[in-house]
Amino acid sequence: MFNQALASSVPIQGTAVAARWDGLYDFLLGISAFFFLLVVGAMLYFAITYRHRPEKKTTYFTGSHLLEAIWIAVPTLLLMMIFGWGYSIYHAMTQAPSDAYEVRVVGKQWLWTFQYDNGKTTVNEVYVPMNRPVKLVMTSEDVLHGFYIPNFRIKQDVVPGMYSSLWFTATVPGKHQVFCTEYCGTSHSGMLAKVVVLDDAQWKAWNLNRPIGAVPDVGLEGVAEASVAQSAPAAGSLADQGKAVYEKKGCVACHSVDGTTKVGPTHKGLFGSKVELTDGRTVIADENYIRNHIENPQANTVKGFNPVMPTFKGLISETEMNALIAYIKSLK
């Protein structure tokens, strides 16, 4: 009955994790209703049965250990169960499989830019394959934004100066609404986007720059359309674009891509490796480390090298940074 009454107000389930969240919330709603009826029902019953009557005297009570044990044990077990249930979904939701298809996301007042490995860039619509894990690696050019896909039941803050991520396996083809969920200025409510989930044939076509046909909206009717821009066919892959940035910004002067050591360490095999720093830290060279190193090199000097690298903070745009990292990632 609850499910039927709520069906029109709860978004469709576009991922497996959405069904799991809804199961947990149905349970929370169910036990809330159960205890509400139990407590209020007992209250009304006692108020009527034991109401004041001049001829009746109240019995003397000294308490009940059994009753106390029950009202400690039952809520404790229920809360532990809710914690375990929620944690297991949260864990599944935050640990992206390593073979996920990656898309780079840049938020800025008030639109979203998406960069793909094949070099394409789209604005306000992100194209993803159906039934395949997809990971969004996200950052912001200005202020805090939030990337929220109600149909998928996932949401993540998008923070300037670092990368955060979201992942999902979309199971329903079509366009799914995205909302910005951090107040980011005048047009915050207009910072809309769509996740366009394509079936196998459409995904192939999209990657070959062929028409994909009409893709219908899924759920959440009545939301204003975001303006959408799509780039011209890609000028080389994202890594190729990153190679151009790498050369233009002069990285090549001090770093090699073939394993030889110059003034700075080589970038061959860097991504995902363990790096020892002069201050004793050992870090994994992921997106956040590489970005942090480019912006604050002095604080991240690699062991065995001199702190001579200048900062590139403010000199590389977010989309260039994404391309640059894709290039460094490709240097296996």
**What residues make contact with ligand CUA under the rule CB under 6 A?**
107, 110, 145, 180, 182-184, 188, 191
Residue 227 DSSP class = P
For residue 165, how many other CB atoms are within 10 A of its CB? 17
Give the contacts of 16 (CB within 8 A, at least 6 positions apart). 169, 171
Shortest CB 145 distance to ligand CUA, Å: 3
> In this complex, which beta carbon is closest to ligand CUA, that of residue 110 or of residue 152?
110
> In this complex, which beta carbon is closest to ligand CUA, that of residue 182 or of residue 320?
182
- Listed residue (297, 296, 300, 273) closest to 284, CA to CA: 273
Euclidean distance between CA atoms 167 and 49, whole angstroms: 56
Shortest CB 186 distance to ligand CUA, Å: 10
Q: Burial of 322 by CB count in 10 Å (0-12 exposed, 13-18 middle, 19+ buried)?
A: buried
Shortest CB 224 distance to ligand CUA, Å: 14
Shortest CB 18 distance to ligand CUA, Å: 23
Q: Which residues pair with 134 in a beta bridge?
A: 101, 168
Shortest CB 292 distance to ligand CUA, Å: 23
> In this complex, which beta carbon is closest to ligand CUA, that of residue 86 or of residue 160?
160
Euclidean distance between CA atoms 186 and 274, whole angstroms: 43
Shortest CB 195 distance to ligand CUA, Å: 16
> In this complex, which beta carbon is closest to ligand CUA, that of residue 5 or of residue 224?
224
Give the DSSP H/E element, type plus range, for residue 23: helix 16-49
Residues 11/152, Cβ–Cβ less than 8 Å:
no
Q: Is the peptide bond before 206 cis (omega within 30 degrees of 0)?
A: no
- Listed residue (279, 291, 238, 246) closest to 122, CA to CA: 238
| The Cα angle at residue 288 between residues 101 and 319, in degrees rounded to 5 | 65
> In this complex, which beta carbon is closest to ligand CUA, that of residue 145 or of residue 267?
145
For residue 4, how many other CB atoms are within 10 A of its CB? 7
Shortest CB 185 distance to ligand CUA, Å: 7
- Listed residue (232, 278, 260, 277) closest to 331, CA to CA: 260
Shortest CB 318 distance to ligand CUA, Å: 14
Which pair of tokens denotes residue 80? 């532990």
Residues 92/20, Cβ–Cβ less than 8 Å:
yes
Shortest CB 199 distance to ligand CUA, Å: 30
| The Cα angle at residue 161 between residues 157 and 162, in degrees rounded to 5 | 60
Which pair of tokens denotes residue 175? 């366009």
